[in-house]
Structure 1
Amino acid sequence: MAEKHIYRFGNDANGNNVTETAGKTVDEAKWITGGKGANLAEMANIGLPVPPGFTISCQTCVAYSSAGNVWPDGVLDEIDKYRKDLEERMGKKLGDKGDPLLVSVRSGAPFSMPGMMDTVLNLGLNDDSVQGLIKQTNNPRFAWDSYRRFITMFSDVVMGVDGQLFEDALNKKKAEKGVKLDTELDADDLKSLIPIYKQIFSDNVDSKKYPEVVVGGKPVFPTDPYLQLRLAEQAVFGSWNTPRAILYRQQNKIPDDLGTAVNVQVMVFGNKGNTSATGVAFTRNPADGTNERYGDFLVNAQGEDVVAGIRNTQPISELPKTPGLEEAGKELYHVFEILEDHYADMMDLEFTIEQGKLWMLQTRVGKRTALSALKVAIDMYNEGRISKETAVTRVAPEQLDQLLHPQFDPNAKYDVFAKGLNASPGAATGGVVFSSEDAEKFKKEGKPSILVRWETTPDDLKGMVDAEGILTSHGGKTSHAAVIARGMGAPCVCGVEALNIDAPNRTVTVSGSDVVLHEGDVISIDGSTGDVILGEVPLIRPQLGGDLKTILDWADEIRLNPKRGRIMGVRANADNPADAQLSADNGAEGIGLDRTEHMFLGDRKQLIQNFILAEDDDVKKESLEKLGEAQKGDFLGMFKAMDGKTVIVRLLDPPLHEFLDNPRDLEVEIAKEEAAGKDCTKKRELLTKLDSFQEANPMLGLRGCRLGLVYPELNDMQVRAIVSATAELIQQGYHPKTEIMIPLIAFEEEIKQIRKQIEDEIKKVSDEYGVELDIPIGNMVELPRCAIMSEDIAHHSDFFSFGTNDLTQTCLGFSRDDAEGTFMPVYFDRKIVKTNPFATLDKGVAQLVDMGVRGGHKGNPNIICGVCGETGGDPESIQMYYDLGLDYVSCSPYRVPIARLAAAQAKIHSNGGPVPVEKR
């Protein structure tokens, strides 16, 4: 059977639903017809009014792109067949002079990518069919408005002509007529724009790139509706691989090989007068989760007007009260209920009202802020719509960053000089920038910025990522800036009408005040209130509580319940008492990694330098004693903060030279002093010693367990500090659960010898304090040989902790310090790697982890396995770690809440998914 490329949706001429994905769930269909196509089909299946159409599959896009933008065999014939079917269903034909069929051509990937790909509306218009539209509607203004919109959009989206050229022509016409709004232009005004627009097309289309539209040696706007359709379909496929779409996928970890579908759908018109309208809405508030109808609409407009922010919108709450739209507004409110009941989630939807008739153009699970995600999940559980497991899966772990990021200090005093719409919560402060390029430049210079725009477009995505926040003078809460900012968790204030932005001259004036902003001037924005403040406002990090605490408590209940599957613990990487306390406050069940080398910084650096460089044994001994006392004090504080919880202390890991001054800096200093006639004999001797500790490849040199074997007194000092602190706290009535970890083990004999050394020191301290001590001893698995030989090594180890930073480095041969700044960008561009292996667990490294876990349990059935590398806080990696059988993950204190949620979700996904609501 030939591969199917196209699927129809909606009703036939008799009103019967002929949707061809009716046997598939939305989740199944979205991989074929994309999210938009799958949801259009689903709305048709449940009886909602959906304009008929057909969808060209995502797989066709992949085949088309992979073949160098060549259509697969037979697809164009199949499209022609479905186009004819649509014409039959509607009783109209594209380009007809008497009663033309007009269609929209829209993208639709399996994952929502709002504003990233292309759309063409009003397709099928030409000089003949526009007359038919006038005849059928008896509305010349509407027809000419639709035609000029089509020329603009087709030229911009399909042919690459700068849309601003058409906007400039429109503004010139409005200036000639002395009006401010498009709606104030009459039919003759709009008709007069058509030849101007066509000339812009001819003057700016690349004839070599688009030979299909060349007539008589020059580009001519295409009148053949079938050519219009094919070019538009190709443009939508092509938009999958635009820089902005690729960047969006990178930011949201969407695979590049999914492709986008193309939805060809009968046009319905919101610009047919005051009984027509268009809008974008959410079934609940996407900013804070309040159970209210939320969104914007415009009377006598098309959908692009709403999201583009060209006209200021009206709130959706006004729709049922708007003359001529009352019944459609009431019907829309009923559709809100139907969609929430059907999907059991907060939905985002697009609609058009054509002369009082409601049409649904799209629905999808609504993007929301972390604050909204928490509230909606909890409310829907309390309403009995979803189970607790489903509620926990409804909050993306990455979203919690929004709640864990700074807010304005409530004690700060400041004056608000402008106010807009609170489009995306959170607070930010930074210098004003007017372009993506400037935002990128500020970031490279280490300076925070606020991107200030009239309204953002998809091409601004890079700047939106690099800026701390976004501020626009136009647009509503469903504008491009608002939607993208909420998805990224970036603060955003939209629709600040008082701002008069002069981007070319890089200034902003504020109506009604004498405030003038220039590039680099510092402002602050509050995306939760819509406030804009001159100058810097102090920011604070919020505490865990409220809905966040509820969801995290539910997550803990799930991941720590052995009846629902294997327990997945969450610990923190912390190196001092303050971080240990923060870890405990954020819900960590222990410390998975205490990097003792971080305790040697600051004033203590001189002590370790004295030990390394001194030739006198007494000096070395004195330095070690002082370091031991200092470390013991740190351990006392950490063990108290984590009383009753496991604290794994790793013995010294990095190369010794990291504690020494840079010899090259000393060499420059010597050269300057000798040039001034100073005697630098002693400094020359010091330089020789410093150089003797330099290694060609220090990350693979004298470090980790090798240090303890070459300098056993270092291990003795550290173990005594750890164990004596433990013993003292036990004497004081505390309950420390101390464990000692040996880094960089590769050979069985290494761990045998070092373990004996540690056990001997533990016994000495135990005898001195008269306290019985049970301190497990384990090792990091950060070398491939350790993973390969894990069964042998586990005979001498109580626990394994996978250090994925070094394990990734030694597995791939990538320098974790250099790779990202040298060849990794090329690897990303050429798709050799799809994710940063130091941020998300690489599949090859995962194989080593799997080998280590399985071998470890063979050598020691009671061994505990965890991870303490950077990937321990990455949700995607946490899923892999759960499936690999790890007992816990450990991450930075600030990512502990994220890891708690991700670990619960990993357990749910690996154990058959959420419990159905009826089994709550």
Structure 2
Amino acid sequence: MLFTTNIEQNYKTLLSNLSSGKSTISETLIDLTETHLMEMLLPSFRYTGKELLVGEGDGILPGDVTGQLVLNRELGEKLLDEARRRNTKIDLIYSTPYGDLEDFRLIQSIRGFFTNQKGRTTFCPVQASCEGIPSIVGVNCTYIEEQDQMTYKYFFKDGSYIEIEQPIRKVYFSIYGNTIEILEGQFLSMSGRHGRIYKGELLVEEPLIAKVYKLLTQCYLEAIEMVGPLKAHTCIVETNTFQQNKQWLIDSIQSEEFQLFQELVHHAQDVTDLEVFATAHTTKGMVQTLLYASHISIDDDNRVVIKVREDKYALGLLRDERMWNDPEAIDLMRLIFLGPDVVGKHFNKFKNQYVEIFSNLLYQTFKVGVGKIAVIRLLCMPFKMIFTEKFDVKRFSQKFDLDEKAVRNRVNVLTNETETYHGCRGVRVTVQREDICELWCEGLLKAAKRANDEGIKTQIQILLSMVTFPQEVEMFIEVFERKIREMIGTKCDWIRGISVMIETSGAFHLIEDILDLKGKNYLLNGALFGGNDFTAACLNMNRTDSANSIIPSYVQLGIMNRSPFQTINTQIVGKAIVTSLRRIRNLRRINNRDYLIGLGGEIAGDWESVQWLTRHAAPLGLNYVSTPPERILFSLFASAQASLVEF
């Protein structure tokens, strides 16, 4: 174990000391702070002292961005579609007090997101942070929409613009006793790092390391389109993005700064006691993850050489509901949940379409490689997020020639829940609808088989969510093994086993009973702690409501240091995790199974939480945390540092 006194230094000084031999690589790793990483990996504003601060809140995902304010989802989608038609891009900052499944498509393409809702784990903030979008919650603002129309200009990256006549929508920010009005379409600059929003466009500076990874990610995606996923790494220099940035990329990849940073990443991967996997659901997300686990260099012919360290990365959590962002695909999902009694004679046709779309979406994530493992979670979207308050039953019924009354009645049954996230989702759906369970298994098996048949090693681990009773798991295993026999016929060596999420009180109390289950060919051999829902279960707090009604007062009174949905509550939640791990370790001694144990959610990307987990949970069998690609390096350095330092 190493000991150090962490004296704050500029990250360039740390790298210089490493280069000159004044510090060892372990000493440098120990002295790196989260602030250093932000300086290396995140864009930041160049402040002049003349900025007009209009709003403040709680920053979730760091990063400084500018864009035009959009307050309406349909408008945002229209602008993105127009940008694609013009073969350019547009920078948008989206804000809404609420959100649902239909926001996915817009959120994936915006620059920043903010809301007046205080809950860090409410729907849109979670989706935005998972997409790597700088986000701020708890902004002191109100939303206004008027009937009067105005014409607004929206500017594209190529210098062109579009004029749109639309209702007047605006945000009123309240700050330091002042009220500031910002109209939709005006430029804002927001700092996810500091939780601040400024009026107008601020100059953004992008660090060298961040820009290298961003450009290489784009090159890799273009190369996939050119030559396919297996050969993409060999054709980086042939892509348009590389050619447009050729000399800068060659110089930057060869720079001492980038090469030393890679050495630090590789050392962190080698010494950490707690691995860091990706929470991802797109090709781009897995490319980013792959690049972080690669040694990148320039050869004598000025070609980019990418040597992937296959055993140093993995897909730790794929949440399949995050992949459904196309409006037509979302409607297809709705048809499946409505069921054959409502949909009628065309239900089988829609089932086949669902499997085809689902399997292709999964394959898009698998196709660049998933590393050591791919943990795929059973669908976990609450019905209220699929059939939202704005869901137009009449339009939907007419579109698919369905009985409107039957659709309305079924929707009312599905959405008649007051507790959104502890309601009917995950295995609670599949035990009641075996046909949905079959469709999910079929789509997953089809995608994994396709990837493996194409030479893309894809070992999968099934993850069941909302498990409370052992019987729920037994019912899934029966369906899963039956679908394997029907589709493949034999036991698959690319299926590692089945995991359950530990996120309910039942799963915690019956952990031995659940994890000792097995089918004819497959075992329960894994678990993943759901950072948000397990915290909610342990503390008996609604993760949305408590952000307003409980947490602020408890932090002020000193009962909690921070929000338990931001940083792990070690007093109760941490203790429950440690207790669970000890029980799993005892079970392992009895049944001799190799359990893969992870933790997901927002706390998996929190520096302080990861360090605590490395010291207290990893020695008891916690194998990994899973976090979005944008937080992987933060969690990795936090875990490696905790592995090296003795406190």
- TM-score, L = length of structure 2: 0.60
Q: By how many angstroms is 1:837 displaced?
A: 0.4
Say if 2:577 and 2:617, in contact at 8 Å, map to a contact too.
yes
State the distance in 2 between where 1:812 and 1:523 align.
Answer: 36
State the distance in 2 between where 1:538 and 1:791 align.
Answer: 52
Equivalent residue in structure 2 for 1:688, among 409, 430, 435: 409
State the distance in 2 between where 1:853 and 1:777 align.
Answer: 17
Could you say what secondary structure the match of 1:542 adopts? helix
Equivalent residue in structure 1 for 2:449, among 713, 717, 727: 727
| Structure 2 equivalent of residue 823 of structure 1 | 550
Q: By how many angstroms is 1:720 displaced?
A: 1.4
| Structure 1 equivalent of residue 428 of structure 2 | 706
Could you say what secondary structure the match of 2:410 adopts? helix
User: Runs of at least 4 residues of structure 1 off by over 4 A?
Assistant: 428-434, 447-450, 520-525, 533-541, 663-667, 681-685, 770-773
State the distance in 1 between where 2:526 and 2:403 align.
Answer: 47
State the distance in 2 between where 1:522 and 1:854 align.
Answer: 49
State the distance in 2 between where 1:431 and 1:703 align.
Answer: 49
Equivalent residue in structure 2 for 1:547, among 242, 257, 267: 257
State the distance in 2 between where 1:830 and 1:818 align.
Answer: 18
- In the alignment, is residue 855 of structure 1 matched against residue 616 of structure 2? no
- In the alignment, is residue 572 of structure 1 matched against residue 278 of structure 2? yes
| Structure 1 equivalent of residue 385 of structure 2 | 658
- Counterparts in 2 of 1:833 and 1:762: CA distance versus 1, 3 Å: same
Equivalent residue in structure 2 for 1:591, among 307, 312, 315: 315
State the distance in 1 between where 2:189 and 2:421 align.
Answer: 43
Provide, for residues 96-129 of structure 1, a one-character-per-residue CA deviation record: whole Å limited to 9, x for no partner. xxxxxxxxxxxxxxxxxxxxxxxxxxxxxxxxxx
- Counterparts in 2 of 1:814 and 1:689: CA distance versus 1, 3 Å: same
Say if 1:433 and 1:449, in contact at 8 Å, map to a contact too.
no
- Report matched runs for 1:196-345 at 5 Å: none
Could you say what secondary structure the match of 2:367 adopts? helix
| Structure 1 equivalent of residue 78 of structure 2 | none
Provide, for residues 773-799 of structure 1, a one-character-per-residue CA deviation record: whole Å limited to 9, x for no partner. 433211111113322322222213211
Say if 1:442 and 1:449, in contact at 8 Å, map to a contact too.
no
Q: By how many angstroms is 1:617 displaced?
A: 4.7
- In the alignment, is residue 907 of structure 1 matched against residue 643 of structure 2? yes
| Structure 2 equivalent of residue 639 of structure 1 | 366
Say if 1:403 and 1:542, in contact at 8 Å, map to a contact too.
no
State the distance in 1 between where 2:404 and 2:15 align.
Answer: 66
State the distance in 2 between where 1:550 and 1:820 align.
Answer: 41
Say if 1:556 and 1:904, in contact at 8 Å, map to a contact too.
no
- Report matched runs for 1:364-375 at 5 Å: 365-366=7-8, 368=9, 372-373=10-11, 375=12
Q: By how many angstroms is 1:583 displaced?
A: 2.4
| Structure 1 equivalent of residue 121 of structure 2 | none
Say if 2:315 and 2:374, in contact at 8 Å, map to a contact too.
yes
Equivalent residue in structure 2 for 1:604, among 322, 329, 335: 329
- Counterparts in 2 of 1:727 and 1:381: CA distance versus 1, 3 Å: same
Provide, for residues 669-697 of structure 1, a one-character-per-residue CA deviation record: whole Å limited to 9, x for no partner. 99xxxxxxxxxx96555433322222122
| Structure 2 equivalent of residue 629 of structure 1 | 356
State the distance in 2 between where 1:377 and 1:537 align.
Answer: 27
Say if 1:828 and 1:834, in contact at 8 Å, map to a contact too.
yes
State the distance in 1 between where 2:292 and 2:391 align.
Answer: 42
Say if 1:439 and 1:467, in contact at 8 Å, map to a contact too.
no
| Structure 2 equivalent of residue 780 of structure 1 | 501
Q: Match of 2:617, as an amino acid?
A: L
Q: By how many angstroms is 1:658 displaced?
A: 2.0
State the distance in 2 between where 1:776 and 1:901 align.
Answer: 29
Q: Report how many residues are paired.
A: 435
Q: By how many angstroms is 1:890 displaced?
A: 0.7
| Structure 2 equivalent of residue 613 of structure 1 | 338
Could you say what secondary structure the match of 2:431 adopts? helix
Q: By how many angstroms is 1:589 displaced?
A: 0.7
Say if 1:790 and 1:852, in contact at 8 Å, map to a contact too.
yes
Bigger relative contact order (CA 8 A; separation at least 6) = 2
Q: Match of 2:502, as an amino acid?
A: V
Could you say what secondary structure the match of 1:740 adopts? strand
Q: Match of 2:27, as an amino acid?
A: T
Q: By how many angstroms is 1:702 displaced?
A: 1.3
Say if 2:531 and 2:599, in contact at 8 Å, map to a contact too.
yes
Structure 2 unaligned runs (5+)? 68-111, 115-175, 179-185, 192-198, 214-252, 294-311, 397-401, 518-523
| Structure 2 equivalent of residue 875 of structure 1 | 607
Equivalent residue in structure 2 for 1:792, among 513, 524, 527: 513
Q: Match of 2:584, as an amino acid?
A: G
State the distance in 2 between where 1:779 and 1:344 align.
Answer: 41
Q: Match of 1:759, as an amino acid?
A: E
| Structure 1 equivalent of residue 31 of structure 2 | 394
- Counterparts in 2 of 1:552 and 1:708: CA distance versus 1, 3 Å: farther
- Counterparts in 2 of 1:617 and 1:771: CA distance versus 1, 3 Å: farther
Provide, for residues 420-454 of structure 1, a one-character-per-residue CA deviation record: whole Å limited to 9, x for no partner. xxxxxx336999655x6x443999xxx9899xxxx
State the distance in 1 between where 2:641 and 2:189 align.
Answer: 39
- Report matched runs for 1:454-493 at 5 Å: none
Q: By how many angstroms is 1:665 displaced?
A: 7.0
Could you say what secondary structure the match of 2:597 adopts? strand
Could you say what secondary structure the match of 1:376 adopts? helix
Q: By how many angstroms is 1:534 displaced?
A: 9.1
Q: Match of 1:798, as an amino acid?
A: N
Say if 2:467 and 2:504, in contact at 8 Å, map to a contact too.
yes
State the distance in 1 between where 2:425 and 2:113 align.
Answer: 39
Provide, for residues 376-435 of structure 1, a one-character-per-residue CA deviation record: whole Å limited to 9, x for no partner. 2233234443332211011113432233222xxxxxxxxxxxxxxxxxxx336999655x
- In the alignment, is residue 755 of structure 1 matched against residue 470 of structure 2? no
Could you say what secondary structure the match of 1:726 adopts? helix
Could you say what secondary structure the match of 2:384 adopts? helix
Could you say what secondary structure the match of 1:543 adopts? helix
Structure 1 unaligned runs (5+)? 1-26, 28-342, 346-364, 407-425, 451-465, 469-503, 507-519, 526-532, 671-680, 914-920
Q: Match of 1:622, as an amino acid?
A: K
